[in-house]
A and B are shown apart, each in its own frame.
Chain A
Amino acid sequence: MNKQQNPEEISEQKDVTVESTVHLIVFRLGSEEYGIRIEQVKEVTITPEITRMPKTPGFIKGVANIRGEIIAIMDLEERFHINAGGPVSGLASSYTLAIEAKDYTIGIIVRDMPQSLTIPVSKIDKAPAFIQDLNINDNYIEGIGKLGSRLIIVLDIFKILTHDEVQQLKTS
């Protein structure tokens, strides 16, 4: 579908072709809404007990046991330097998204119960000019989804832990 088309044209075409959609899991970081494609989310659970792991960067909150699998838990607010007034892990209850990366699973800790949301592909602006302006290390933003007045930042989760940062985790 051509991105240049205006919304009126799209709704007219809907009768003819079935609009392809994207199913997102949407959660809040700081004051903004973020989304991850549902195929990349293995499960959503109440955050289990996290064992702190010394000698890891601050955004790695530790490891937790999710159904017998021990996975690292990451705080994206800290990772993106979003100031939200106190860390998520300090909350009495929070949720964890288990994300299926290529060859491992990682947990992302979020404040509120994540929502499931379907939006048409055409509503995701894949190449807003500002993304190109962003530092190359920040290219984990896949696009900006718009639904009514809501703006959802769609993340490409595979790029969140860039090679550099994985290397950074090494000690000594």
Chain B
Amino acid sequence: MKSREQEYKEIFIAEALEYYDALSRHISELEKAPKDEKILAEIFRLLHNLKANAKAIGFINISDVSHKLETAFGLIRNKELAFSDNVVNVLFDGIDLLGEMITNIDNPNYKETSNEVLLRNLDVIIESADGAMPTAENGPLEVTKVQREFTAKNLSLSELIYIQIKKLDHMMNLVGELIIDRDRILSISKDLDNPDLISVSSHLYRITDELQFSVMDARLVNVGSLFNKFPRIVRDIAVAENKQIHLDITGQDIQIDRNILQIITDSLLHLMRNAITHGIENPEVRTKKGKPASGNVWLSAQNDRDMVNIKLRDDGKGIDLNEIKSAIVRQNYLSADVVKDLRDNEVLSYIFEPGFSLAKEITEFSGRGVGLDVVKNAIDSIGGRVHVDSQQGKGTTFTMHLPTSIAVKGALLFEVAGGFFAIPLMHTDSVVSLPKNRLHEVGDMLVADIMNETISIVYLDELLNAPEGMMQLGNKNILKGDEQNIIIVTYNNRKLGLIVDKLLRQQDIVIKPLNKPVDNIDIYGGVTLLGTGKVCLVLDVPAITRYFIGKR
């Protein structure tokens, strides 16, 4: 496998060559229509991007030439330099030089022979514009003729193709279907016990695995493609808020599915705004508290097994738990005496409730009623989790646990009332087996003490299948047998134990969306087909948790 750097370089070269092709085309058009501002703007944009890309990857020469050309075209755009014969020739030469440099990036023998003269020529035309006299009447510019050998230019097509994400989505779906069929074939071949079939199906297994990996790989992008937009955004918010912010970004080269990154873009922006407007204090306040005047924000990405963790940390004032508690009561989520007994992380989890707000004043960037529930919904929708930690006076950390890829997820398979169900591992905390006497009927619900934590337990069969209004969630006599298998799921800092009839196994599954008209039933995240051809319903933990809380 190629190194990351090599891959970046190839992408850069391919893109740069496209820029070069576009530049050559546009400058030829410009020669015919020198007044066309659209073409000028496009050339300007291309050069600007090329300059930035080259600089980012360390090709300073290319960046310098692009910069000079950009300056020259800037002058033309501002009408400080006429697009006349001499200038045209120099610019054509300049663009050709760019092309030559790009194609020879990997050629150690390449000597940038005509550079010196050409760069001087570029300087000459740029300087000529600085003079008081308009260029056109300035007589012929003293440009030195560059002898360039046009050794029959190589025509070549780009190494890079653009592809609509829609096409990749389609491919991904097809691979998903293929994997379901493969598992089915594998299971049949085991039953039939035919050596030929077994050997061909195990080969099929390897090929489809590799195919799936390739398609997933093709969809991966660097987290940096999102992170690198933040320095500017942070600056703008900081200016508007009159705050000093130092932003530290790490883990830009962590890779993640493009669609997942797209979905969390708004959430990350939202959290960043919150961190700066509500988290970081004013410089005066910070100084008084003995903190550096400039606030720190850390944006980082890390791989964690099959997941990517994106973390946003600030060293601001943190979240005031008492303020949340009084807001919980004020906005009628819970009564004052219930709130008193909540654990800290349960209190914090309320910031993700729809409509919950601590904002007392509205600024340009925050407090417009779009709450953190939007962030949580976005992350829920891709099967991720969001977690918040906060220490008053020290700062707040939001952590998003995201799947690397949308299509395949590890899941726990189990049976309830004869039906097959799955829960993504992302949401499972642990699996325990408890005798009935460890479950306690408290009020109209079951609780158990599991590893020193009091956890609500629900019998999934009852929650799913009992008719509305007749649910007995607090009755342990309806449980079958003595030992109860409990899957403990976590959602929004809360734990919930689900009693299932039979635990099956852990398995990678391809989740297919449900079709209409059963597509909008919250508690299902989708379906998957098992190797046996049976349909297995995938439960959506956030929705099940909400449903349970609603029933309690």
Cα distance, A64 to B177, chains bound together (Å): 15
Q: Which residue of A lies closest to B466 (CB)?
A: A54
The total of Cβ contacts below 8 Å across the A-B interface reads 85
Partner of B512, one of A51, A64, A70, A169: A70
- B527 — which chain A residues lie within 8 A by C-beta? 63, 70
Contact of A161 among B512, B517, B520 (CB under 8 A): B517
The interface-forming segment of B263-271, B336-344, B528-536 is B528-536
| Chain B residues with CB below 8 A from A60, complex form | 517-518
* Chain B CB within 8 A of A82 CB: no
* Contact in complex: B518, A53 (CB < 8 Å): yes
- Report the separation of the CA atoms of residues A29 and B78 in the bound assembly, to the nearest whole angstrom: 79
Closest Cβ of chain B: how far from A56's Cβ, in Å?
Answer: 6
The yes or no answer to B18 lying at the interface (CB within 8 A) is no
Q: How far is the CA of A63 from the CA of B419 in the complex (A)?
A: 11
Complex contacts, A56 vs chain B, CB 8 Å = 518, 521
Contact mask for chain B residues 507-518; partner A; CB cutoff 8 A; 1 contact, 0 none: 000001011111
Whether A105 contacts B517 in the complex (CB less than 8 A), given A70-B529, A171-B523, A171-B547, comes out as: no
Whether A83 sits at the interface, judged by CB under 8 Å, is: no
Q: Is B420 an interface residue (CB 8 A)?
A: yes
Shortest beta-carbon distance, B137 to chain A, in Å? 68
CA distance A63 to B418 in the complex (A): 14
Which residue in chain B gives the minimum CB-CB distance to A64? B535
Decide yes or no whether B464 CB sits under 8 A from chain A: yes
Task: Report Cα–Cα, A166/B524, bound state, in Å.
Answer: 16
* A72 near B518: Cβ-Cβ < 8 Å: yes
Cβ contacts A82-110/B at 8 Å (1 or 0 each): 00000000000000000001011110000
**CA separation between A103 and B513, bound complex, in Å?**
14
Say whether A81 faces chain B, with CB atoms less than 8 Å apart. Answer: no
A51 touching B521 in the complex, CB below 8 Å, given contacts A63-B527, A104-B516, A172-B543: no
Residues of the B chain whose Cβ atoms lie less than 8 Å from the Cβ of A51: 419-420, 534-537
Nearest CB to that of B177 among chain A residues?
A68
| Docked CA distance A53–B526 (Å) | 11
Closest residue of B by beta carbon distance from A72: B518
Q: Could you tell me the distance between the alpha carbons of A56 and B543 in the complex, rounded to whole angstroms?
A: 15
Sort chain A's interface into a size bin: 20 to 34
Q: Is the CB of A72 within 8 A of B517?
A: yes
B96 CB–A CB distance under 8 Å: no
Question: Once bound together, how far apart are the Cα atoms of A53 and B524, in whole Å?
Answer: 9
Residues of A within 8 A of B546 (CB): 172
- Residues of chain B with a CB closer than 8 A to A172's CB: 522-523, 543, 546-547, 550
B194 at the interface (CB under 8 A from A): no
Residues in chain A near residue B156, CB distance under 8 A: none
Contact A54 B517 (CB under 8 A): no
B522–A171 CB distance below 8 A: yes
Given known pairs A52-B419, A53-B537, A171-B547, the reply for A71 and B515 (CB within 8 Å) is: yes
A172 vs B419: C-alpha distance when bound (angstroms)? 22
Nearest chain A CB to B262's CB is how many angstroms away? 24
B180 within 8 A of A: yes
- Considering the chains assembled together, what is the distance between the CA atoms of A49 and B419 in angstroms? 11
User: Which residues of chain A come closer than 8 Å to B181, judged between CB atoms?
Assistant: 68
Known A-B contacts A64-B535, A68-B181; A105 and B515 likewise in contact (beta carbons under 8 Å): yes
A-side contacts of B180, CB under 8 Å: 68
Chain B nearest Cβ from A66, distance in angstroms = 10
Is B465 part of the binding interface, using a Cβ–Cβ cutoff of 8 Å?
yes
B516 lies within 8 A of A166 (CB) = yes
A65 to B547, CA, bound (A): 27
The 8 A CB mask of A66-82 against B (1 = contact, 0 = none) is 00111110000000000
- Our pick among B418, B420, B521 for the contact of A171 (Cβ within 8 Å) is B521
Q: How far is the CB of A71 from chain B (nearest CB, A)?
A: 6
Given the known inter-chain contacts A51-B535, A68-B180, please indicate yes or no for A169 contacting B419, CB distance below 8 A: no
Q: Does A55 contact B (CB under 8 A)?
A: yes
Is the CB of A14 closer than 8 A to any CB of chain B?
A: no
| Complex-state Cα separation, A72 to B524, whole angstroms | 13
Given contacts A51-B420, A68-B181, contact A106 B517 (CB under 8 A): yes
Binding site for A on B (CB under 8 A): 177, 180-181, 417-420, 464-465, 512, 514-524, 527, 529, 533-537, 543, 546-547, 550
Rank and list the top 3 A-B pairs by shortest CB-CB distance, nearest first: A54-B464, A104-B516, A51-B535
Q: A54-B419, A172-B543 are in contact. List 6 more A-B contacts (CB 8 A).
A: A63-B518, A65-B535, A101-B516, A104-B515, A104-B517, A170-B521
17 pairs from A and B in contact (CB 8 Å cutoff): A49-B535, A51-B535, A51-B536, A54-B419, A55-B521, A56-B518, A65-B529, A72-B518, A104-B517, A105-B515, A106-B517, A161-B517, A166-B520, A170-B522, A171-B522, A172-B543, A172-B546
